A and B are shown apart, each in its own frame.
Chain A
Amino acid sequence: MTAVNADETPAISVRALTKDYGHLRAVNQVSFDVPRGSVFGFLGPNGAGKTTTIRMVLGLVHPTAGQIAILGREVTAPGDGVLAAVGALVEEPAFYKNLSGRRNLLLYASMGPEPVRPRRERVDDVLGKVGLTDAASRKVKTYSHGMRQRLGVAQALLNEPDLLVLDEPTNGLDPAGIREMRVLMRDLSGAHTVFLSSHLLHEVEQVCDHAAVINRGELVASGTVGELRGAETLRLETPDAADAAAVVAALGGSAEPLPGGLRVDLAGAAPEDLVRRLVDAGVRVRAVVPERAGLEEVYLQLVGEQDA
C-alpha cells in the first residue's frame, strides 16, 4: 500500500477534538494535521492528554466532540476499516506471554478485516526489520523490555501500514534500547508516515520533522521542528561590542549584550554580510556562531517548567 496523493490529504487530521471523562476535560479543542510522509512528534508532559488523543484517533475512546480523519477518511465509529492501513503501538505492547514472538505475530496477522498474506513470510519479514529473527521462537515472557517494545513495533508493521501511530515507543527503555528504537524510527520514517508521542524532547528533536505540543489537554504549539525552535540568532564574540552593535543596527538587525560580545538577531539578513561589514568597519571579530534555541527551551517555555 503506497500513499496516493501524498501531499494532498494529511495522514491524520483532527479538528476541535475534545474528551470529557465525567467532569474532567482531558482533551480540549485540539486541532492539528499530520502531513503525509512526515515524522510527527506529539509532545507533552505525562497526563497532558497525549494517550487520550491517540486512543481517540484509533477508535478506542469515543470523542466527546470534534472530528478525526485518517488518511483522508472521516472516522465516525470505532473499528473503522481505514485502521487496516494504520499500525499502532498504544502505550505498552501487549502479547500472549506464553507464546513465542512469532506465534504472537501469526495470531495478530490472522485477525483484522483482511488477514495478512502471505502470513509467514510477512511475519518473518517484520521480525527481521526489528532485529528479532534470532529470538522469534522464544516465549515472549523471556523477552527483555526492549525486545517486547521492538516486537510491538513489528506487530504495528504487520499489515504494511501507510501510517504508524506509536505512543511513547521509548518509554521505560534503557539508553541502549532508546538508541535501538531511534535507529528503528529513522529506518521506518522513509516508508511510512510516523506519528509518535513522547514526553522526551530529545527523542522528538532527533527523529521528527514536525511536532505539536500539548499541555493540560490543550494544544500549545504545532509546526515544523524548525518553526517551533524559532529564529536563528548569532553569538558574536568581539571586544568592540558598541561598534558592532552600530553595524548590526545599520543592517536592520537587533543586538543585546552578552559577556564578551553580543547576541544578534539579524531579522533575515545574511550572516556573511554582517561579517563583511564588521570587518570593513574595523570591528575585531573573534567568533560568529549561529545559534538556535533548543526545542527543550521552547518546550519548557510552552508547558512551564513545573509540568515538564
Chain B
Amino acid sequence: MSLSAEVRKSASRLRTWVMLGLVALLPTIFAFGTRYGDRGDRGRPDAGDAPFFLVETLRNGAGVPFVALVILSSFLLPLVVAVHSGDALGGEAAGGTLRYLLVRPVRRARLYGVKLASVTLFAAVATVVTLLVGLLWGAALFPTFRPLAIGSAGAPRLVPLGAWAYSGRAAVAGGYVVVALVALGSIGLLVGMLTASPGAANGVVIGALIAMQIVNQIDALRRVHPLLLTHWLMEWTNVLQAPVRWQPMLKGVVCFVAYIAGLTSVGLWSFQKRDVLS
C-alpha cells in the first residue's frame, strides 16, 4: 500500500475534482465580482474593522490570494477536507474494500498512516489551488498588481513586500492552513474508521467545526477557547502584519499538532484492536 496508489484512487474519482473545482470557483467569483461588480465603492472602500489587506486588495491584485484564503479557510476548505477525510477509511469500510486491503495484507497502522498522508496531501492541494487561483485572477484582472503593502492595524506606515517576502508569507499562511485542515481531517479519519460511514464522519467534522465556532463566540467560555481549532483557524492572517506576529500562529500550530497527535494515537490504537466486520 503506497501513497501513490492512494493518490491514483482519489484522482480517479469525479468527486475529488468537483471539490477542487469548487475551491477554484470561489476565488474566481470573488475576483470577478470585485473587479466588475458594483463599482460604487471602488477606491473609497469602507475600511471599518476589516483587516488592512482586505482594503488594499480592492485596489491591488496581489492581495487576492490572501483574500481568497480568508474566504475559503473559514468554511469551504474545512468542508472539502471533511468529505475527503470522512471517506478515507469510512468509505473503504462502507464499500467493503477495507477488508480486501487488510487481507492483501496491508498492516492497519500503515493503512491509517497512508490515509492521513492522503488527507494532508488533499488539504495541501486544495490550499495551493486557492492561493494560485487567487494569484492568477489578481494578476490577470486587476488594473494594478504591485507589491502588497502591509502594516500593523493602526500603524500608518505601510511596508511593501518584495517578491520573496510576498511568496514566503503566502507559503507560511498556506502551510498554517494545511496544518489546521489536517487537524480537522484527523477527526474525519477517526470517526470514519469507527463508524464505517463516510457520511457520519463528515457530518461529525462539520458539526464539530460549527460547535467550536459557536463556543468560540461565547465570552463566558473564554477559558476553553484556546482548546478550540476554530479559535486559531484564522490566525494565519498574522503573516500580513509587519513584522509578522508569530506568537499566536505558534500557539495555533501547537493546538493543531496536539489534535493531530491525540486523534491519530486514538485512531491507531483503536483500529488495531478492532474487529473488522464491514
A1-44 at interface with B (beta carbon < 8 Å): 21
For B103, give its contact among A62, A83, A91, A107 (CB under 8 Å).
A83
Q: How far is the CB of A217 from chain B (nearest CB, A)?
A: 16
Q: How far is the CB of B187 from chain A (nearest CB, A)?
A: 24
B97 proximal to A (CB < 8 A): yes
A210 proximal to B (CB < 8 A): no
Q: Tell whether A108 pairs with B104 under 8 Å between CB atoms, given A94-B95, A96-B12, A96-B97.
A: yes
CA distance A80 to B276 in the complex (A): 15
- Asked if B102 and A94 make an inter-chain contact with CB atoms under 8 angstroms apart, the answer reads no
A63-112 at interface with B (beta carbon < 8 Å): 78-81, 83-84, 86, 88, 90-99, 103, 107-108, 110-112
Which single residue of chain A is at the shortest CB-CB distance from B273? A62
A294 proximal to B (CB < 8 A): no
Q: Tell whether A111 pairs with B101 under 8 Å between CB atoms, given A78-B108, A92-B96.
A: yes
Given A83-B105, A95-B97, A113-B106, 15 more pairs with CB closer than 8 A: A55-B99, A55-B275, A59-B103, A60-B277, A61-B275, A78-B102, A78-B107, A84-B105, A88-B100, A92-B96, A93-B100, A96-B95, A108-B104, A111-B2, A113-B104
Q: How far is the CB of B267 from chain A (nearest CB, A)?
A: 15
CA distance A112 to B107 in the complex (A): 8
- Set of chain A residues within 8 Å of B2, measured between Cβ atoms: 110-111
- Asked if A60 and B5 make an inter-chain contact with CB atoms under 8 angstroms apart, the answer reads no
A155 proximal to B (CB < 8 A): yes
- Asked if A112 and B104 make an inter-chain contact with CB atoms under 8 angstroms apart, the answer reads yes
- Set of chain A residues within 8 Å of B14, measured between Cβ atoms: 98
B144 proximal to A (CB < 8 A): no
Q: Tell whether A79 pairs with B106 under 8 Å between CB atoms, given A60-B275, A96-B12, A110-B2.
A: yes
CA distance A78 to B275 in the complex (A): 10
Q: How far is the CB of B24 from chain A (nearest CB, A)?
A: 22
- Asked if A111 and B1 make an inter-chain contact with CB atoms under 8 angstroms apart, the answer reads yes
B44 proximal to A (CB < 8 A): no
Q: How far is the CB of A25 from chain B (nearest CB, A)?
A: 14
Q: Tell whether A155 pairs with B273 under 8 Å between CB atoms, given A94-B95, A99-B12.
A: no
Q: Give the interface centre of B4, B97, B105 by most chain A CB atoms within 10 Å.
A: B105
**A and B contact pairs by CB, cutoff 8 A, 13 listed:** A55-B275, A59-B103, A60-B102, A79-B108, A84-B105, A90-B99, A92-B96, A107-B5, A107-B9, A108-B100, A111-B106, A112-B106, A155-B100
- Asked if A61 and B277 make an inter-chain contact with CB atoms under 8 angstroms apart, the answer reads yes
Closest 4 CB pairs of A and B: A94-B96, A112-B104, A83-B105, A60-B276
Size class of the contact patch on chain A = 20 to 34
CA distance A93 to B103 in the complex (A): 13
- Asked if A112 and B275 make an inter-chain contact with CB atoms under 8 angstroms apart, the answer reads no
A58 proximal to B (CB < 8 A): yes
- Asked if B103 and A60 make an inter-chain contact with CB atoms under 8 angstroms apart, the answer reads yes
Which single residue of chain B is at the shortest CB-CB distance from A89? B100
Which single residue of chain A is at the shortest CB-CB distance from B97? A94
- Asked if A110 and B97 make an inter-chain contact with CB atoms under 8 angstroms apart, the answer reads no
Which single residue of chain A is at the shortest CB-CB distance from B106? A111
Q: Give the interface centre of A58, A78, A93, A99 by most chain B CB atoms within 10 Å.
A: A78
- Set of chain B residues within 8 Å of A110, measured between Cβ atoms: 2, 4-5, 8
Q: Give the interface centre of A99, A107, A111 by most chain B CB atoms within 10 Å.
A: A111
B65-81 at interface with A (beta carbon < 8 Å): none
B217 proximal to A (CB < 8 A): no
Q: How far is the CB of A109 from chain B (nearest CB, A)?
A: 9
- Asked if B100 and A112 make an inter-chain contact with CB atoms under 8 angstroms apart, the answer reads no
CA distance A60 to B96 in the complex (A): 12
Which single residue of chain B is at the shortest CB-CB distance from A51? B277
CA distance A136 to B96 in the complex (A): 21
For A61, give its contact among B1, B9, B276 (CB under 8 Å).
B276
- Asked if A62 and B5 make an inter-chain contact with CB atoms under 8 angstroms apart, the answer reads no
- Set of chain B residues within 8 Å of A61, measured between Cβ atoms: 275-277
Q: Tell whether A59 pairs with B105 under 8 Å between CB atoms, given A96-B12, A107-B9.
A: yes
- Asked if B105 and A112 make an inter-chain contact with CB atoms under 8 angstroms apart, the answer reads yes
B13 proximal to A (CB < 8 A): yes
- Set of chain B residues within 8 Å of A93, measured between Cβ atoms: 96, 100
- Set of chain B residues within 8 Å of A97, measured between Cβ atoms: 95
CA distance A123 to B101 in the complex (A): 17
- Set of chain B residues within 8 Å of A111, measured between Cβ atoms: 1-2, 5, 101, 104, 106
B272 proximal to A (CB < 8 A): yes
- Asked if B13 and A79 make an inter-chain contact with CB atoms under 8 angstroms apart, the answer reads no
B86-113 at interface with A (beta carbon < 8 Å): 95-97, 99-108
